[in-house]
Chain A
Amino acid sequence: MARALSLITLRRLAIATVAVLAAGYALAFFYAPEDADQGFIQKIFYLHVPLATVALLGFMVAAVHAIRHLQTGDPIHDARAYVSIHISVIFGLAVLLTGAIWAKGSWGIWWEWNEPTLVSFLIVFLLYATYYPLRYAVEDRDRQARYASVFAITAGAFVPLNFLAVRLAEPLIHPRTFSSAGGLPGSMLFAFLVCLAGMALLWVTLIWFELDAKRASGDLGRIRRALEATA
């Protein structure tokens, strides 16, 4: 397993991501049939739903890293939690924007305040948007990392609870994905799953890329500090 993981490099991961995403969207546009109810505009589903799924899972991954950070005190877990939240917030912004465009095209409105799905996702997004100001309000690096971990765990626990609450609530206009009898037809489901895999790979690639950049920046800082100490 460790040997297999060591063979994965950022370049290989990026190539795999592009290939899977290209295959997924080719399937979505040329293989999956048009939705009988919504027509062509339903193609936004293959972007919007994988983005939302990966963003919410990403917040939970951040919570797992935060737990590991509090258990071990290893700063790498704090860095992983930080980057996971960063990429998931970007994906969350994309979910809100693509959802608003889909809503305008389908329902004629950009936003519906009475729809639990929309409002709950906005609450989760705004909750995580406060992670950065809260984190940088603490100056001491160790305390900053500990407080950020506590935040990531608390907010991470809120994500599945929020998801469950929305499932139990009465839908107004937003459909509950995969909850209706029968679900998606096979070809649509296959295209969706490939898009979901591609989006998950994109999330992992961006995490890897940002962690590499953070590591390089940290190493440079250490060299600079060591040189300054001898000057």
Chain B
Amino acid sequence: MTPLLAIESAELYVAGAYLVFLLLLLIYVAIMAAKLQRIQRELRSLAEFAESPRGRRDLGRVREREGRIESAREGAQR
């Protein structure tokens, strides 16, 4: 294996530039992964809520409400 000090400085600069870009990309992907995890967590809790008796009742109300809004919109368009 070549010791680090034996690498020419041009190679170090090139490696540095490419690593900086890779690091920026990794930071971005890590932030996005954390966001997606939060979305998944919220989705799981909403799914658990929807499966509960109270959730089923509330979701029924949401559907009713959305149906009313939809029919009012169609009425306004006519």
Q: Which residues of A contact B (CB under 8 A)?
A: 39-41, 43-44, 47-48, 51, 90, 93-94, 97-98, 101-102, 104-105, 206, 209-210, 213, 216-217, 220, 223-224, 226-227, 229-231
Contact = CB atoms under 8 A, between A and B. Distances in A.
Label chain B's interface by main secondary structure.
helix
A97 B36 CA distance: 28
Contact of A44 (B8, B13, B46, B62): B13
B50 to A, nearest CB: 9
Contacts of A40: 8, 10-11, 14
Interface size band for B: 20 to 34
B17 A102 contact: yes
Label chain A's interface by main secondary structure.
helix
A224 B21 contact: no
Minimum-distance CB pairs A-B, first 8: A105-B13, A230-B61, A41-B10, A98-B17, A40-B10, A101-B17, A44-B17, A226-B62
Nearest to B24: A94
A23 to B, nearest CB: 16
Contacts of B70: none
A90 B17 contact: no
28 contacts: A40-B8, A41-B10, A41-B13, A41-B14, A43-B14, A47-B17, A47-B21, A51-B21, A90-B24, A90-B28, A94-B21, A97-B20, A101-B13, A101-B16, A101-B20, A104-B13, A105-B9, A206-B28, A209-B32, A213-B35, A217-B35, A220-B39, A220-B42, A220-B43, A227-B46, A229-B62, A230-B58, A231-B58
A76 B65 CA distance: 25
Contacts of A41: 10, 13-14
Contacts of A213: 32, 35-36, 39
B20 A98 contact: yes
Most A CB contacts (10 A, CB to CB) among B17, B59, B62 go to: B17
B43 A226 contact: no
Contacts of A216: 36, 39
A39 B24 contact: no
Interface string B5-32: 0001111011011101100100010001
A224 B46 contact: yes
B66 interface: yes
